[in-house]
Chain A
């Protein structure tokens, strides 16, 4: 007998006491009702506050101020190459008008080697969903967000979230996502508390997360 058959058969025997009915009829799942009394503004404000709680940088922006704010976020960072302009990774579909002029743009794509990503000083991306309750940004790696490695390997991630993408809570976010796509949920910069429970930001992911909430 194959391992598959053996496991399934053993599991069936183990559950002899369970009536043969549809799982949804056998066990009811009652979720808490979604809360409805928060205004758009409150939700976006809460999102900004909760993202900042993770020690990420959060700013409000309009589509015309984004480019200056991105430039300001990059200002003062040392190029890892030692000299010259910062090398900034830009995913396909990212709005070109949001990319400052004084950087060296690396256009991401499947052919860009991982070692090349490691030489980038930062990455710009958009997002799919923002979650107010938890201060979470969800990427579905579609237009403007790049493949998963793009927003992981460089040490700085500047992420543009449109205000109308922010939902109140986790259930709304899960409902808005397409399961077929890969997702990355980001709540602040990478962190560890493994050494005597002291929180240290930045182990493997970007050590700086800079979030611009675009629009109102």
Chain B
């Protein structure tokens, strides 16, 4: 993965700036709250949700643990179906492949469907440098592109813009990029969408080459899938003569039937819909229908490094639904930009440091600290990625990397900076205190007793030991004073709830979502008590 968004300060500084931007906070709180509620509703409809999550986890584990075989199978299937397969070790190679294909068709523009992989490799910049315009066609991406801006949320990348700003951007910029917005454009969403429809339609009808990503790539059949809402994906996948799809190597599914699990998990987790408006699948070239020249670029760009870490590997199960963002108390308050990566939120905090490697960039190294370890992200994750586990693991890696460079104090500084950011506001402290309670339960798994029976966090296994070796860390109380006060009405009432239940009665953003996922919750509690027996 190429560098951070240029000049992005380390997470605590960027977060502080974002916290001061009240519009961003308001919009984000509204967005994450709305999507969270919708998600909880449609997930609640599915009785077997937990079994589906387990199936999703297992399918992705099966692929990841045997990735080379599945990649070779995918390549054979795609080739047999008439597609051309390319392999790219990194962003530079992938970009060069796409630029080369566009050049061979003598075009100076391509249309694009929103894709995290092409954002990750900064394809648009590479195309631009080669004199080829890349038109983003997703409404939010169009807003971001015309506003010369950065996306702030995987799912709703323009959530930091309000309707008045969008109107201004459209009026000011659309004319420079093609069909201008009508002069009498209001800030009514329906009108803004209509302006985008008219602006982009001429580009869809004219474009020779389209670039997409893919949500899934089926090894057995060579089928690629794009899940979307607006129909811009269908336009790109269907109208141009040439289609290039940049696909991360972790997107593989073993069989066509495996799509059933993923197509149940993804829309409900992502936009909180039973199904997204449009899903397209295509298998190579279909004579007489759609692009007659189909390319697939299989992208590594750090993914094999992630794969090499048996704990961190699970991050590659991610299907980019963004559910973890919407429940994250840290994300809700800081927004996506503070993470300095195309992958924001809890998933970004574990994926970005692994893709880039730790120990060289302070911004990247601060990401594993951009969390209160509250566990809400795990509970909503449709493929059961244990994000808190990976965060703790990566903190250890960061410390180890810096120890090797004999710069341990600076890391502790960094952790303290993150802590001071957390502690400097009452709201954040509330979230963090509860998190510490959950963290305490997690820690109990690995804990031991100090003289006098006080539970302390012992040495963590592996690289994390560097983090805990320097001194014994007292295990945080399972329940903070503030949450005890609230629960018991200042000690006036007594309840017999278990620790696991207690956290669920609290009312911060992160916890609310946990009410719909009790199975996940109780399994964590089981883990913890199992761990305590060992101690």
Contact = CB atoms under 8 A, between A and B. Distances in A.
A50 interface: yes
Looking at A26, A152, A193, which has the most chain B CB atoms within 10 Å of its CB?
Answer: A193
Contact of A194 (B59, B140, B279, B307): B140
A121 to B, nearest CB: 15
Interface stretch (B229-237, B368-376, B408-416): B229-237
Contacts of B239: 114, 149
Interface string A30-66: 1110000000000000000010011000000000000
Contacts of A177: 256
Interface string B36-75: 0000000000001001101100110111011111111001
B346 to A, nearest CB: 21
Contacts of A81: none
B274 A135 contact: yes
Nearest to A209: B277
A181 B259 contact: no
A110 interface: yes
A190 B278 CA distance: 7
**Chain B contact residues, majority secondary structure:** helix
B286 A185 contact: no
Given A174-B256, A197-B31, A152 B275 contact: no
B200 to A, nearest CB: 7
Interface string A99-117: 0000000000010001100
Interface residues of B, number: 98
A203 B66 contact: no
B101 interface: no
A36 B260 CA distance: 17
Interface in B253-305: 254, 256-261, 263-264, 267, 271, 273-283, 286, 288-290, 298, 300, 304-305
Looking at B229, B238, B277, B308, which has the most chain A CB atoms within 10 Å of its CB?
Answer: B277
Interface in B442-480: none
A197 B156 contact: yes
B337 to A, nearest CB: 17
Interface of B: 27, 30-31, 34-35, 48, 51-52, 54-55, 58-59, 61-63, 65-72, 75, 81, 87-89, 93, 137-140, 143, 156-159, 162-163, 166, 189-190, 192-193, 196-197, 200-201, 204-205, 218, 220-221, 223, 229-232, 234-235, 237-239, 249, 254, 256-261, 263-264, 267, 271, 273-283, 286, 288-290, 298, 300, 304-305, 307-308, 310
10 contacts: A15-B65, A24-B62, A30-B51, A30-B55, A31-B261, A135-B275, A182-B286, A184-B279, A185-B281, A192-B140
